[in-house]
Structures are given as C-alpha cells and as structure tokens.
Structure 1
Amino acid sequence: MEVMQFQVDRPVRPKWTQKFKIKLLIRIAIIAVILLAAMMSLGLWFSSNMLLSPSFKGVTKDFSRCLPETERYFGKSCGNLRQTKEYSFQEVKFFSVNGYDLPGWLITTADNGGTPSKRAIMLVHAGGSDRREETKYIGMYHRLGMDVLTFDLSCHGEAPCITRGLSFGERESADVLSAYHYLKDKYEKVYAMGSSVGAASILIALPGMPDLASVIAENPYTSFERLIKDAPESKSLPEWAVNNLIQLTKIRGKFDGHRSPENSLKLSSSVPIFFIHSKADQNTPYTQTEYLAGVYTGPKTLWEPEQGEHAAIWDTNRTEYEKRIEDYLKR
C-alpha cells in the first residue's frame, strides 16, 4: 500500500533586510535620547524651582502656621512675636530700592524696660525663611544695649515678590542696603548680622555701607556658582548638568550672579567682620567662609565651631554662641 505524504504549508515570515533593521535601531536610539533629554530637562526645571523657591526648615509664608520642624529651630510659635508677645515691638515698613515696601519688626530696648539706645542691629534671615528666624537673638542684643530690626527680604514672608523668587543675594543685597539707610536715619551706630543668604546679602551690600559698625556673617558662601557646585547634591551629577542648572536658575530668576560676596569684599576694607561657619555644615562647606576671610583685607575674626547645622549653630550651643558674639562686640 502506498503511503501518501502531504506537505503542510508554513506561514511565510517577512524577511527584514539589514537596512531596515539599522533604521529601526536608529529610531529607537533617537526616541531613547529624546526621552532621556526630556527627563533631564524636567529634573533641571524641578531643581531650579527648589533653588528659586526654597523652604528653610519647613517654613511657610503664612505666619499663622507653625510646623514642628520650624518651631524646633525658630523657637516657640516659630518666633512669631505676634503670638508669643515675648517682646513689645513695632510693625514697620521701609522702602526698598527694589521698588516696594519691606515689612519688619523693630524691637527697641526702651519698649522692653530698658533705656533708649543709640545703636541698632539689623538681622537678615536665610533664603527660604523670614524675619521670625531671627527673633531668637533679640534678648542677646538687648543685653548689649541694641535695638533690633528683623525684616522680610523680597519674596519672603510677607514681603512683595515682583521678580521670581530668590536671587542668592543680588536683589536681596538691595533690601539690606535699604534697611541700613532706614536705621542710619535713626541711630548713631548700625550693625548687621545675617545667616546664609542673609550673610551673603550683607557682604554683597558692604561697599555701599562703609559706616556700618560691624558685621556678623554666619555660613556665607563665595558666590552662587560655587554654592551650587559645592553642594552635596551636585557631586552625583555630571558637570554639564550642574552648569546647565546654574544657567537655568539664573535665567529664570533674572540675575547674573556677578554680584557676589567674593567680589564685593575686594571693594571694602573698613568694616570689622566676624565670620562664623560650622565645620559640621552639610549645606555649604566651611572652606568657603575661610576663603572669604582670606579675601577680606579689613579687620576680621574667624570662628569655626565643630558642631552645628547650616544656619543653626546657636541651636547647638547657645551659651558659647552668645558669649563669643558678646565678647566680639564688646571689643
């Protein structure tokens, strides 16, 4: 018996040419690059948002709110004198050369059981903070016979914000200069103390304040660019990404970064400066303050405590902190 064999037809698969495969791989590579570039762009945009609108220690612009993290650093009721009523104070406003009024609190020795003072100190808060941050120092300066002005920098607290966010001392230094003139019209001697962006803003404004009695600059930085390049977060990024972040932030924030503590200190030499920077600072390396102290040719003192977070040395050892400042100012 003859066995019949049947041949089953198999489906014919399309035969891709080598040229088609190469085109497909190229398209996939292009899409991957586009997606990667989009992700990087979104990351840089998000990072620039954080730089332009930071929140220091969880602070919010609503003075009626007080988060536990903020209270830990600012003190009871987050340093809000309206709520603590710890000191009698005056609600004040003064004109900034930036084109608007800045709100502040003037806390005089005379209004708090002391004698009228002919000396005053302006306290300048860190970036992303507001005037409440500085109220913890009022008692120390009242003991030294000084009236105290603490105010909100532009785009902080209750101050107006005409241009987008923080400029790392460029616009803020104009606010400091305006506060100086506000006090200069009322007092024989004016002092200044600032932390981080506040310290940088004072140092940038220094050439315009030759009659300032003294400066206390806690954890300043040399320039915006070096601040970002030395940040711990930048260490894990490629150099081109860090440079792009710097340029994007300056463009969006409408500042060029040329006005820096490093450049301004080269134009001033008459005002005594007490530089303070903790070696435990994880935000800004203390070597930046060492560099600034080296650049400055005027009278200076440098203190580098072993402990204390960024802008929070007082919180670590209040007694030593206040004693060093009191000893410095008495000298």
Structure 2
Amino acid sequence: MTKIQNLIEPFKGKKRLRNLGYFSVVLLFIFLFAFTFAIWSASNQILFPVWKGISKNFEKCSIEGEKVWGKFCGNIRLTKEFEFQEISVPSLNGYNLPGWFVSASDNGSIHEKGVILLIHGGGADRRELTRFIPFYLSQGLNVLSFDLSCHGEAPCLVPGLSFGNRESRDVISAYLYVSKKYKNILMMGSSVGASSVLISLPFLEKVKGLILENPMLSFNRLILDSPESANLPNWMVYTLIELVNSRGKFDSLLCPENSLPFASSVPLLLIHSKADSVVSYEHSKSLAKLYPGPSEVWFPDLGSHGSIWETNQYEYETKVRDFIRRSFNEKNRR
C-alpha cells in the first residue's frame, strides 16, 4: 500500500500545481478585466463629462440643471430675457458653430464699447455662461456666446473633449469672426474654455483683455494633480493619460503652459478659488508666473469649480469691472 501511495503522490503534486496554475490564470484574467473596465470607465468620464441635470437638448431642463445654470438652464430662447440673434461661426475645424449674439444697444445700453466672447467649460455649452450676460451688457459690451466643438448643438467629428486642442481652434475662429467688425475685443473663459483661450493666446494679439476662470496648466497636470490619482500607482495614471490621448485623438503637449511664453501683449485676469477641488488654484498661480505679459490674479477662499461668481458676486464683478476699464485704457497696455 505504501508503494502505491508513493507512486500516486507525485501525480497529486502535479495536479495541485496544475490547479494552482489554472487559479493564477483566472485571477490574472479577472485582474486584467477589472483594470481594463476601470480605466476605460475613467477615460469615459474624462472625455465625456456630464453636468448634473443638464442634457444637450436645449428644450429640456431639470431642477438640478436650473440650480447650476439658472432658469431654463440658461436657455435665453426660453427665458426671453434678452433681444438676441442666432448666429453661426465658421470654425477652423471645418464646420460652423452655433451661437447667440446679444447686442448691448438692443438691450438698453446707451454706449457700445466693444464685444466680449464667452467660452464655456468642458462638457457644458453656451447656456453655462448666460448668467454673466446682464453684467457684461451693463458694461456696454455686446456678448457673443457659442458652442465649442462637440458641445451643445455644435457638430462633432472626433467625439469627446480635447482639453483645448480642437477647442482652441474654435476660439481663434470666433476671434476672427468678431475682429472684422470690432477693435475692442474681450474674452471670458471657464475651465477648459479658459485653457482653450490660453492655448490660442499667441494668435490673439489684438484682444484687449482675457478674464480666465480656473484654467489648467495642461491635461497631464490636471490628471496627475487630481485627488483620485494620489491613490494610484504612477504606471496606472500614465496609462490612463495615454488612453485618453489615444481615444480623444489629441496632443497633450498643446497646452496653456507651453503656449504662454509665446505671447506677452494681452492683459490677463486669472480668477481661481482656493476651494476648487477639480483644478487646483496652484495651476493659475503657475500660469501667472509663466506669462511674460501683464497679469492679475484673484484667489478667493470660497467658490467651487466654475461657481466663484455665485459666492463672491460683488467682489467678483468689482474685480472684473476694474480690469475691463484698465484693459480699454491703452496707456496701461504694455
């Protein structure tokens, strides 16, 4: 009996090893599947951000959406708050961008001083910044607000955000569109919109001033500095960055921190809340140091990402009003 057992034992050992090998392969497969699913889901959230309660259908607006963007989710077609025109801006990306043009004179302003372009954030559309229209009209500024590529009602050839790459060409296009008529041009951008403006800056020499809320240094820095990345190994974070670049078909080297050194004539007002948990205000602090031209910064203690005006309205408008006045005073231009 002992001899038989001695003969069987090696086979049992091989069977255990074989079972262990199968088990390891299954575990590896589960890990790879879980990792692939997680990183693909993460890339979806980055490329296709969704505002709570907001859809691309301008006719629909939820209670959550109104809390974020105001009545009817900022749709001035429905609020009928302003006299405005539907416009179409030809883009360097190869299609037209839908927008709204709100004239200061048509809405009660005696003097028209120029025009301001409102550049919305990533995942949003032109409705996001309509809450600022009354303030800018009161400054004698016509307002042009339009949808960036793949946002709102704008066409989309390459789905998803490109964090300023394709969007910056839309900004340049809008600038060319208004520069045919106006000498006094301002721009106001938020988040990806602000970053898109900064990427475009070397081509915006005739712009009088830029009001920039919570811009980022670059897409890579946005991901690397995010709280979620702090708990992940570097190889996983860089894999996510490469996946987003590949799926979104954009070059992360085209970014504000690489564009700023090539411009110096346009005054900047960088506004960034210290409470911003999406993009650290350190990004704006670094951008101001990188820029060789005139710049001002305001870092309030309150206000979440894209919501500084709501928590600091009086001080916000005072800062912006003073900046506009100085920007239109050529004696203060470098």
Q: Who wins on radius of gyration, i.e. which is larger?
A: 1
AA of the residue aligned to 1:39? A
AA of the residue aligned to 1:322? E
Decide whether the 8 Å contact of 2:109 with 2:138 is kept in 1.
Answer: no
Partner secondary structure for residue 92 of structure 1: strand
Report what 1:7 is aligned to.
Answer: none
Report what 2:325 is aligned to.
Answer: 330
**Moved >6 Å (runs of 4+):** none
Q: Of 96, 101, 105, which aligns to 2:100?
A: 105
Q: Of 207, 211, 215, which aligns to 1:212?
A: 207
Identical residues among aligned pairs (%): 47
- 2:86 matched to 1:86? no
Partner secondary structure for residue 131 of structure 1: coil
Give distance in 2, aligned partners of 1:91 and 1:78.
Answer: 18
CA-CA distance at 1:330 after TM superposition: 1.3
Decide whether the 8 Å contact of 1:129 with 1:157 is kept in 2.
Answer: yes
Report what 1:182 is aligned to.
Answer: 177
RMSD: 1.4
Give distance in 1, aligned partners of 2:260 and 2:54.
Answer: 31
Partner secondary structure for residue 40 of structure 2: helix
- 2:68 matched to 1:73? yes
Decide whether the 8 Å contact of 1:228 with 1:246 is kept in 2.
Answer: yes
CA-CA distance at 1:26 after TM superposition: 1.9
- 2:292 matched to 1:297? yes
AA of the residue aligned to 2:260? L
CA-CA distance at 1:143 after TM superposition: 1.2
> Structure 2, unaligned stretches of length 5 or more?
1-7, 327-334
CA-CA distance at 1:116 after TM superposition: 5.8
Q: TM-score under structure 2 normalisation?
A: 0.93
Report what 2:39 is aligned to.
Answer: 44
Report what 1:226 is aligned to.
Answer: 221
Q: Of 1, 16, 20, which aligns to 1:21?
A: 16
Partner secondary structure for residue 90 of structure 2: strand
AA of the residue aligned to 2:24? A
Give distance in 2, aligned partners of 1:285 and 1:276.
Answer: 12
Report what 1:316 is aligned to.
Answer: 311
CA-CA distance at 1:56 after TM superposition: 2.7
Partner secondary structure for residue 55 of structure 2: coil
Report what 2:132 is aligned to.
Answer: 137
CA-CA distance at 1:268 after TM superposition: 0.5
Give distance in 1, aligned partners of 2:251 and 2:190.
Answer: 22
Deviation string 1:261-285 (CA, Å, 9 cap, x unpaired) is 0000011111000011000001111
Greater shift after overlay, 243-252 or 24-33? 24-33
Report what 1:193 is aligned to.
Answer: 188
Q: Of 165, 171, 177, which aligns to 2:166?
A: 171
Greater shift after overlay, 159-168 or 23-32? 23-32
AA of the residue aligned to 1:162? L
Decide whether the 8 Å contact of 1:153 with 1:172 is kept in 2.
Answer: yes
Give distance in 2, aligned partners of 1:295 and 1:70.
Answer: 36
Decide whether the 8 Å contact of 1:118 with 1:188 is kept in 2.
Answer: no
Give distance in 2, aligned partners of 1:223 and 1:139.
Answer: 32
Partner secondary structure for residue 129 of structure 2: helix
Partner secondary structure for residue 165 of structure 2: coil
Partner secondary structure for residue 212 of structure 2: strand
AA of the residue aligned to 1:112? N
Give distance in 2, aligned partners of 1:205 and 1:56.
Answer: 25
Decide whether the 8 Å contact of 2:53 with 2:61 is kept in 1.
Answer: no
Partner secondary structure for residue 175 of structure 1: helix
> Structure 1, unaligned stretches of length 5 or more?
1-12
58 and 168 in structure 1: CA distance in 2 versus 1, 3 angstrom threshold: farther
Q: Of 146, 152, 155, which aligns to 2:150?
A: 155
